[in-house]
Structure 1
Amino acid sequence: MSRRNLLRGAALGAGALTLPALLSACGDGPGGNKNEVTVGSNASDPVPKKAYAAAFSAYEKKSGKKVKVNTKDHNDFQENINRYLQGTPDDVFMWFAGYRMQYFAEKGLLHEISDVWSGFTGFSDALKEQSTHSGKQYFVPYYYYPWAVFHRKSLFQSKGYQQPKTWDDFIALAKRMSKDGTPVAFCDKDGWPAMGTFDYINMRLNGYDFHKSLMAGTESWTDTKVKNVFDTWREVMPYYQKGALGRTWEEAGQSLQQRKTGMAVFGMPHPGTQFPENERDDIDFFAFPEIDPQYAQDAVEAPIDGFLVAKKSKNLDGAKALLKWLGTPTAENTYLALDPNNVAVNDGADTTKYSALQKKSAQLVSGAKQISQFMDRDTRPDFASTVMIKAIQDFIGNPKDVDGLCNSIERQKKTIFSSPVG
């Protein structure tokens, strides 16, 4: 799940055209094998790996075609993605919606699949927008997962804690929790987990439109609105786990599971993969608290994962045929039967077997007025990787110098956004 290497890889220049053996795809010469479609997978964790295997196996039985999955370590896949797509990529590969997809489409490294989309049903206009660049579709969404404030249901019940709706109530709960232990699990060794908290505070304070414009580089980081985000964030920091910059997201999730901490701002799979199966029913969450009533809890952070076709695909027909199937409710049902840490994107998917957590997640997102993708997916990858990882880590290390921090971000932003993508 780490994004640090994802960001570094996505931000690399287009110079290196040779691909490390680590990510080399296995083809059958220039023409490839027309009875086989290859898939570059970053699903190296056991739960999604098993679920994808079931989905691809179902497609093989249906189509009579072979799906060869090249699974690589999640971090290594992300780190080498740019060179991978310029070298000898698989026909299809797993990646992300929104700016992450648009970045590679703009660089000409993806194959347009608008013809595949013409046959789809069950996808909302919002999903189509997240799959589109310059009026053309490049991405097939497969599932999403919301970010929220996660906790153990039993802990709240035993201590009499109430889920807060407002920021003041959230701080009051954290203060009360501090008498019983560490209120909030916190980590940023990986360089991305704390981005979710920034996103939510910004959207709750300043609204989704401002947040989107800030990520697009059209708002100034020296604006008082941005400084207020960091000032507000500082209010909860006394209640965080100490040593966040040396803690991975897995370790933070484990602290929640072990009852060493009470709450954590996470994406749904993060606590889900750190809890044993017999304890997952004890996971609960509440929407990130309201700060300014005019924006309430309207926006929800809900990253979308899915599939794309590499421009250098050797079996384009096979790739498109696989994507046509992956965009069906049947394909999503097959996957989610083995991975309860995500939510289907197709309206036709079967939700009758959803866990309580999945049902609540689906309700949270369906009721949102706006959906964001996460900072490292909503802005330029080079800005996220070279500026924001360090900036947020600097803030965590020294949360008092907000003016200096915002001035530094703005200077670097102007340089990066004035240069062409890639």
Structure 2
Amino acid sequence: MFRSRVVTLGVAALVLTACGGGGGEQPQKKTELTLYNDKGAWTKYFDEMGALSKQSIGLGMKPTGYTDSAQYQAFIKASFRTDVKPDLFTWQTGGMLEEIVRQKQVAETTDIWQQAIQAGDLSKDLQPYYTIGGKQYCVPMNVAYWGMFYNKKIFDKYGLEAPETWDDLIKVADTLKKNNVKAFYHTSVLFSFVWFEQLLAGSDPDLYDRLSTGQAKYTDPGVVQVMEKWKSLIDAGYFINPGDKTDPGDVLKNGKAAMVSFGTWFNTSMTQRDLKAGEDYDFFVIPNVNPALPKTSMIFESGPLCSLTKGADPAANKKYLQWWTTAEAQEKWATSRGDVSANPKVSIADKALGTVTKDAGSGKYRLVNRYFEATPPPVLTAALDGFGKFVTEPGSYKEVLDTIQKAADEYWSTHQ
């Protein structure tokens, strides 16, 4: 199974021992690196990056992509104990990265960050997401800002415009409902958390942050109210069947739902379907539920590209990670996928995404760490299961919150 270039399992989806210190670096031995990732659909783009890196720095890269997140994580963790080890691998920030850093499995990248920030290739705003114990680990494989992709032809057909307030969004949903069009996509697997994070961050982002650090409970009134709001949207008939297995890219293209909430990386799904931004589809920032908030809350994520502490060729791994942050590499990476970039020097061709990227970098929005990264892994597991149950049984929300809180109590009783 692990020999294949793309491992499809069907459900959805370093450097020196201490980069900043100590002994001399060993010379590079490898001419091609393996990059294991949980983005099997992006194999084409990883291949293009491997060809460019071979030409640019004499170091190629061969991707092995998974589409099942749980199987991928199991493989990476197993590689810590076996001889089947990736040179490079993708991961998540937050608790999942901290977990494997504490196990001393991830190579430090502090000096790469220092050099990249000085060169203007990485922003200091990203650094905290990669900092554990005062040191940096991995580099940004990608960044993404979350909002709403919408089928522009459906909007045009019914005279709809991108909403500026939450009330506007509900009016759009009501108009679509009257015309027998489902407004929103949601799912009971993996991305079951999307509407929870959006509603909570757009209602009370401080509560959202406290929840992620154990300073608030899932049974607190503000969280209960968010679940009731979510339930009211489901009860209103705005969503498609959460058990629908149609790829969300096809959901939007075919009009099964008029709107899909995802990170800017979803733009790749649109370009893969030969759809044109501004003509076939477009993107808007989701308005706050609470209009009194001083800034619009925007969900943000950044996916790390990492290497192991005991990699086969630390010098080659480091060379590749350094190159990945450069404008040359990021221009190719962003342009090929039609996405945004972690490198501030890279211009974004898509007008809507370019505006969002510029505004997010200027402080216009309150950036909120994506729930998947902000939540400790044991709590996240319980929450994903709980939200998956909720979207199919909306009346179970209190039971779901109680179950998630039990997992949170257990976790935070042993973690500060």
With normalisation by structure 1, the TM-score equals 0.83
Asked if residue 211 in structure 1 is aligned to residue 205 in structure 2, the reply is: no
CA distance in 2, matches of 1:34, 1:205: 53
CA contact (8 A) 2:28 2:315 kept: no
Asked if residue 145 in structure 1 is aligned to residue 113 in structure 2, the reply is: no
CA contact (8 A) 2:283 2:353 kept: no
1:3-402 matches, cutoff 5 A? 21=2, 34-42=29-37, 44-46=39-41, 48-65=42-59, 67-75=60-68, 76-88=71-83, 89-120=85-116, 121-122=119-120, 123-189=122-188, 191-207=189-205, 209-237=206-234, 238-244=236-242, 246-248=243-245, 250-270=246-266, 272-273=268-269, 277-281=273-277, 282-295=280-293, 297-340=295-338, 342-351=339-348, 354-366=349-361, 367-385=363-381, 387-402=382-397
CA distance in 2, matches of 1:256, 1:22: 34
CA contact (8 A) 1:92 1:308 kept: yes
CA contact (8 A) 2:31 2:58 kept: no
Q: 1:184 aligns to what SS in structure 2?
A: coil
Q: CA deviation at 1:363?
A: 3.5
Q: CA deviation at 1:339?
A: 1.0
Compared with structure 1, are the counterparts of its residues 101 and 146 closer, same or farther at alpha carbon in structure 2 (3 Å cutoff)?
same
CA distance in 1, matches of 2:368, 2:409: 23
CA contact (8 A) 1:147 1:196 kept: no
Residues 282-291 or 32-41, more deviating: 32-41
Q: CA deviation at 1:33?
A: 7.6
Gaps of 5+ in 1: 1-19, 25-30
CA distance in 1, matches of 2:168, 2:151: 18
Compared with structure 1, are the counterparts of its residues 21 and 258 closer, same or farther at alpha carbon in structure 2 (3 Å cutoff)?
closer
Residues 88-113 of structure 1: per-residue CA shift (max 9 Å, x gap)? 32222122333332222122210111
Compared with structure 1, are the counterparts of its residues 390 and 328 closer, same or farther at alpha carbon in structure 2 (3 Å cutoff)?
same
Compared with structure 1, are the counterparts of its residues 268 and 247 closer, same or farther at alpha carbon in structure 2 (3 Å cutoff)?
farther
Q: 1:247 aligns to what SS in structure 2?
A: coil
Q: CA deviation at 1:43?
A: 5.9
CA contact (8 A) 1:185 1:241 kept: yes
Q: Percentage identity across aligned positions?
A: 19
Q: How many residues align?
A: 386
- Alignment match, 2:14: none
CA distance in 1, matches of 2:145, 2:135: 26
Compared with structure 1, are the counterparts of its residues 406 and 274 closer, same or farther at alpha carbon in structure 2 (3 Å cutoff)?
same
CA contact (8 A) 1:145 1:267 kept: yes
CA distance in 2, matches of 1:195, 1:410: 15
Q: 1:269 aligns to what SS in structure 2?
A: helix
Q: CA deviation at 1:324?
A: 1.0
CA distance in 2, matches of 1:109, 1:332: 26
Compared with structure 1, are the counterparts of its residues 36 and 227 closer, same or farther at alpha carbon in structure 2 (3 Å cutoff)?
same
Compared with structure 1, are the counterparts of its residues 411 and 306 closer, same or farther at alpha carbon in structure 2 (3 Å cutoff)?
closer
Q: CA deviation at 1:154?
A: 2.5
Compared with structure 1, are the counterparts of its residues 43 and 125 closer, same or farther at alpha carbon in structure 2 (3 Å cutoff)?
same
CA contact (8 A) 1:299 1:368 kept: no
CA distance in 2, matches of 1:33, 1:322: 11
Q: 1:126 aligns to what SS in structure 2?
A: coil
Residues 287-296 or 153-162, more deviating: 287-296
Compared with structure 1, are the counterparts of its residues 258 and 23 closer, same or farther at alpha carbon in structure 2 (3 Å cutoff)?
closer
Q: 1:284 aligns to what SS in structure 2?
A: strand
Q: 1:143 aligns to what SS in structure 2?
A: strand
Q: CA deviation at 1:178?
A: 0.5
Compared with structure 1, are the counterparts of its residues 68 and 262 closer, same or farther at alpha carbon in structure 2 (3 Å cutoff)?
closer
CA contact (8 A) 1:300 1:370 kept: yes
Letter in 2 for 1:365: A
Compared with structure 1, are the counterparts of its residues 193 and 297 closer, same or farther at alpha carbon in structure 2 (3 Å cutoff)?
farther
CA contact (8 A) 2:197 2:371 kept: yes
Compared with structure 1, are the counterparts of its residues 240 and 87 closer, same or farther at alpha carbon in structure 2 (3 Å cutoff)?
farther
CA contact (8 A) 1:97 1:130 kept: yes
Compared with structure 1, are the counterparts of its residues 79 and 361 closer, same or farther at alpha carbon in structure 2 (3 Å cutoff)?
farther
- The RMSD of aligned alpha carbons is 2.6
